[in-house]
């Protein structure tokens, strides 16, 4: 099992290109099951989650190739049963459910796995598909879904923690082949949902309102093949922004979409960061000492839950007291105990982390609990005195393309031990 050895004390400096979005690529790859024709998807990051999805597509009957960031698929025939040994590894595997139902009229899928960041049931997915006419039942850890015909309907998809991204994706994909008009109220507005909608439109789907709380999908009889390029990964971009700030560095991010990062940029500027556009990208510098900030994670366009752990690492060495409240996954604070091992002063009160900035962190062996926690521990290691050993980095390989190589190119002293 790989681990990362990080020696702290080096300012990050230089340019880094942001990869394609994992959270956009996964549902778009699943959507290629909706057509028997060839689809070409570009700017696909080379991640373990992506390779899990490609193997799922292959096991479902699609012919798949992946080379130099380009995935080509052709799903002339589609099996209705997904393999448990792959589904258990990745939460986003649930997004094949909508396409399979639309294509086959039935589906069997195991409860998906992934990061341990809190309860993430699929009941809203099944509720949305039920509204379209799909019946479901649970048996032996598997979900069985059947439908004689999908029929458009008005559907409310809100949950107790806000809109569901993958639930919106699943219902939207199924609705493209439903008879009549489907209206999704309380739809997720994330850029990744808009990217999926754009790909489906290229396939011939009739969708309006993507990026708003109300989406309308008019079902069509046939979807054709299409080509599409994945949007940049806003969470990877945010992670490198924090990396520049925590090391008091000077980093230019290229290949990004600043409009997807408005809330994060606002919070970082409130800390005192200088974030300025350049011809080739966005430059992040720290001209003086940062100050603490408070924030609450929310659904888009609010502060992203996927940046909460990285901000905890930054606030742990920022003067003052910060209050970080997690409203999406209230139990997503497993990284705090590992930051404490490095000398962070953190208290957890319910779903709020109270962080007292310290002068320095100390390198220590730490254990990654999930994807974003892994990134937070690497960031903490960049600024800690001494050496930090981050174990279980298979988590970080799920969502960051060659992060150790990218950090090394910026000057970081980081080594992967296999």
- Residues serving a catalytic function are 115
Q: Which of 100, 376, 338, 350 is nearest to 235 (CA)?
A: 376
Ramachandran angles phi, psi of 186, nearest 5°: 60, 40
Strands 227-229, 38-42: parallel, antiparallel or unpaired by DSSP? Answer: parallel
Q: Which of 211, 212, 268 is nearest to 237 (CA)?
A: 268
Tokens of residue 136, six digits: 């479901």
- DSSP state at residue 300: T
Strands 413-417, 142-146: parallel, antiparallel or unpaired by DSSP? Answer: unpaired
DSSP percent split of the chain into helix, strand, coil, nearest 5: 35, 30, 40
Q: Which of 393, 395, 319, 332 is nearest to 359 (CA)?
A: 319
Compute the distance between CA of residue 104 and CA of residue 146 in angstroms, rounded to an integer.
Answer: 9
**Which residues, at least 6 apart from 11, have a Cβ–Cβ distance to it below 8 Å?**
247, 248, 249, 250, 411
Compute the distance between CA of residue 227 and CA of residue 205 in angstroms, rounded to an integer.
Answer: 14
Ramachandran angles phi, psi of 408, nearest 5°: -60, -40
Residue reference for tokens 């971009």: 237
- Buried-state track 48-62, b at ≥16 Cβ within 10 A, e below 16: bbbebbbebbeebeb
Compute the distance between CA of residue 31 and CA of residue 173 in angstroms, rounded to an integer.
Answer: 7
**Which residues, at least 6 apart from 279, have a Cβ–Cβ distance to it below 8 Å?**
none
Alpha helices in 60-184 (DSSP H): 84-87, 97-104, 123-131, 165-175
């Amino acid at each position: 099992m790989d681990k990362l050895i990080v020696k702290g004390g080096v300012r990050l400096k230089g340019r880094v290109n942001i990869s394609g979005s994992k959270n956009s690529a996964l549902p778009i790859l699943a959507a290629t099951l909706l057509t028997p024709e060839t689809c070409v998807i570009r700017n696909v990051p080379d991640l373990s989650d992506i390779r899990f999805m490609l193997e799922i597509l292959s096991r479902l009957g699609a012919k798949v190739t992946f080379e130099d960031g380009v995935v080509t698929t052709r799903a002339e025939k589609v099996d209705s049963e997904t393999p448990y040994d792959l589904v258990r590894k990745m939460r986003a595997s649930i997004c094949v459910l909508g396409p399979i139902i639309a294509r086959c009229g039935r589906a069997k899928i195991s409860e998906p796995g992934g990061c341990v960041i809190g309860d993430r049931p699929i009941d809203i997915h099944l509720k949305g598909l039920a509204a379209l006419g799909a019946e479901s039942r649970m048996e032996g850890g598997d979900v069985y879904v059947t439908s004689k015909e999908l029929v458009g309907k008005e559907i409310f998809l809100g949950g107790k923690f806000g809109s569901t991204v993958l639930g919106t994706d699943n219902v939207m994909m199924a609705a493209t082949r439903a008879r009549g008009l489907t209206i999704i109220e309380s739809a997720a507005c994330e850029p990744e949902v808009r990217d999926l909608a754009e790909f489906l439109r290229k396939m011939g789907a009739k969708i309006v309102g993507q990026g708003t709380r109300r989406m309308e999908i008019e079902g069509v009889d046939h979807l054709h093949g299409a080509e599409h390029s994945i949007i940049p990964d806003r969470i990877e971009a945010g992670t490198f922004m924090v990396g520049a700030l925590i090391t008091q560095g000077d980093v230019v991010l290229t290949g990004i979409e600043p409009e997807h990062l408005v809330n994060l940029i606002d919070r970082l500027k409130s800390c005192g960061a200088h974030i300025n556009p350049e011809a080739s990208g966005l430059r992040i510098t720290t001209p003086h000492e940062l100050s603490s900030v408070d924030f609450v994670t929310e659904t888009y366009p609010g502060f992203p839950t996927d940046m909460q752990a990285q901000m905890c690492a930054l606030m742990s060495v920022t003067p003052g007291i910060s209050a970080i409240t997690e409203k999406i996954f209230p139990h997503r604070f497993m990284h705090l105990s590992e930051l404490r091992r490095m000398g962070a002063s953190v208290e957890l009160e319910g779903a709020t982390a109270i962080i007292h900035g310290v002068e320095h962190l100390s390198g220590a062996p730490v254990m990654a609990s999930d994807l974003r926690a892994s990134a937070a521990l690497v960031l903490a290691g960049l600024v800690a005195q001494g050496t930090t050993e981050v174990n279980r980095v298979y988590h970080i390989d799920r969502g960051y393309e060659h992060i150790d190589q990218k950090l090394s190119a910026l000057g970081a002293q980081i080594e992967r031990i296999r």
